[in-house]
Amino acid sequence: MGSRYSVQYVRAAKGPAVEQVKAEVEGILAEVDVQMSTYRSDSAIERFNALPGNSCQPMPEPVLQLVRVGEQLSRDSDGAFDLTVEPLLDLWGFGPQGRTEQVPSATALAEVRQRVGYQHLRIEGVELCKDAAVEVDFNSIAAGYAVERIAERLTQLGVRSFLAEATGELKAVGRKPDGSPWRIALEEPRDDRQVAERVIALDGYGVSTSGDYRNYFEQDGQRYSHTFDARTGRPITHKLAAVTVIHPSTLMADGLSTLLLILGPEVGWDYAEKHAIAGFFVMHADTGFVTRSTPAFDALLAGPKQ
C-alpha cells in the first residue's frame, strides 16, 4: 500500500508473543498485497487490469468481496464512488502509472472515461469479468479491509485489547492496562503540520479519515485533489476538506469516508444523516476550517470531549 502499519496490544499472561503476532499480521498484509496491490504487476488485481475488455479471471474470495462492497457503495452514491477510477488517477498524475500532475485535455479525458465505470464489472462464480477495459483500484477500501482482517486474527489469538492501524485506518478494541480507553486524534486537514482537531476514545470501532489535503497539485490558481468523482472524471472541487467515519467495520468506515468526501458537504451530510453514519466533517472556510458532526457521531461519543 506504499505506507506503514502498527499494532499495539495488551499481552495477557498466556497471550501470544510479539514475534507470533507480528508474523500473523505481516502474513495478512502480504496476502492483501499479492491480491490487491496496484504497485506490483503480478498481483491478482493488476493481472486482471492488464486484460482487455470482455475478459474474465478467477479471483480469490477477498477480491470478490471487495468488488461487491465497491458495487454497493457505487450504487448508493449514484456512481460517484467507483473502484474503476485508476485510469483517471493515472491520467491526472496521481496513480501508480501517472507521470505528470496536470489537467488533461478534454479529448484525453473523454477517451479515458470510456474505461471507467463499475457497471462494466460483474462476478460469475469465482471469476471477475469486465465488458470494457476497466482497471480496478482498491485503495479506497483495501486498508480498512486489512485492518479488519488483522482485528479478527488478533481476537482469534486471544488478544482482548488492541489498536491496529494500516495507512491511517484504525480499529480499537478493549482498554489499556490502566483501564483507560484507546484514544485517537482526528487531524486538522493541513498539509504543513499535524494539528489535532479532536481526540476521541473508542472501543470496538474502526475509524477512517479521507481528505484532500495531502495529495494534490495546483495549476492556474486551481487546486486539484487526488479524490475523484467518477461521474465527471474530475477531482472534487467543493469545500469539504476531510471526513472521518466511525463504524464497527473498518472496511466500511474506509469506504464510507471516501464516499462522503466525494459527495461533498451538503449531499454527503444528507447521505450520512439518512444512513445514520457517525461522521465528522471538516470544511474549508475563509479563516481556516469549520467542523460539523452528525447526530450518530455525537451519540456515539456522548459526554465531554476526551
More confident residue, 170 or 211: 170
Rounded to an integer, the average pLDDT of 37-43 is 92
Q: Note the pLDDT of residue 306.
A: 41
67 located within any domain:
no
Average pLDDT score over residue span 208-234: 72
Position 105: which residue type?
S
* Average pLDDT of span 21-48: 96
Euclidean distance between CA atoms 116 and 297, whole angstroms: 33
Task: Summarize the confidence of residues 271-291 as an average pLDDT.
Answer: 91
CATH number, domain containing residue 263: 3.10.520.10
Residue 144 lies in a domain: no
**From residue 31, how far is each of 1, 34, 138, 172 by CA, in Å?**
12, 5, 14, 22
Q: Give pLDDT tens digits for 134-188.
A: 999 999 999 999 999 999 999 999 999 999 999 999 999 999 999 999 998 887 6
Global pTM? 0.90
Residue 25 domain-assigned? no
The chain-wide mean pLDDT, for the chain, equals 89
pLDDT at 195: 52
97 pLDDT more than 80: no
Query: What integer is the mean pLDDT of 38-53?
Result: 95
Does a structural domain hold residue 280? yes
- Residue 131 has a pLDDT of 96
Answer for the pair 245, 207: CB distance below 8 angstroms, yes or no: yes
> Has residue 36 been placed in a domain?
no
Share of the chain above pLDDT 90, in %: 66
Residue with cell 479519515: 209
In a domain, 226, yes or no: yes
pLDDT reported for residue 197: 65
Q: Are the CB atoms for 154 and 9 separated by under 8 Å?
A: yes
Work out how many domains the chain is built from and give that number. Answer: 1
Q: Is residue 223 part of a domain?
A: yes
Looking at residue 32, its pLDDT comes to 97
- Is the residue at 163 inside a domain? no
- Could you tell me the residue range of the domain that residue 214 belongs to? 168-300
List Cβ neighbours of 193 (8 Å cut-off, separation of 6 or more).
Answer: none
